[in-house]
Amino acid sequence: MIRKMNIGDQRSYQRVITFDEVKAFGALTGDMNDAHFNVEYTKTTIFKKPIVHGMFVGSLFSKIFGMEYPGLGTIYIGQSLKFLKPVYPDMMLNVVVTIKDIILEKNRVIFTTEIFNEQNECMLTGEAVLMPRKEENHE
């Protein structure tokens, strides 16, 4: 699989995170921080309304990596995240991954990971290190 990949290859999809999904994420992780749920509290913050959990937003790359590119059998080795702007429920997001480097001898692929809003403002940026599944012929 890795031999068929090229620096600059890109994949993307659009996604809206609903408030019900934010509630489910909070319940799953135990993170019920007022920043995500308390409307009155968030009016007093720089965000002015509840925001989506940063790690929920950061997890959106998994759909591409695990199911599409590189796809099934891929192992996530690492991910850095830098949160640039708040993400709010019901905001249309464009999730984009781009190959930055390929380390053939270690079977590692490094991706730039970015999430944009409808105005094409970068909301989150980072870098992922992946280990694609090895093919039978050891590619």
Q: For 11-41, what is each residue's pLDDT tens digit?
A: 999 999 999 999 999 999 999 999 999 999 9
What CATH topology corresponds to 2-131? Answer: Thiol Ester Dehydrase; Chain A (3.10.129)
What whole-number distance in Å separates Cα of residue 107 and Cα of residue 131? 6
- In this prediction, residue 4 carries a pLDDT of 92
Share of the chain above pLDDT 70, in %: 97
Please say if the pLDDT value at position 135 is more than 80: no
Confidence (pTM): 0.92
Q: For 74-123, what is each residue's pLDDT tens digit?
A: 999 999 999 999 999 999 999 999 999 999 999 999 999 999 999 999 99
- In this prediction, residue 136 carries a pLDDT of 59
Q: Indicate the domain borders of the chain.
A: 2-131
What whole-number distance in Å separates Cα of residue 119 and Cα of residue 46? 20
In degrees and rounded to multiples of 5, residue 75 shows phi and psi of -110, 130
Torsion of CA 18, 20, 21, 22, to 10 degrees: 90
Taking 3-state DSSP, the helix, strand and coil percentages for the chain, each rounded to the nearest 5, stand at 25, 35, 40
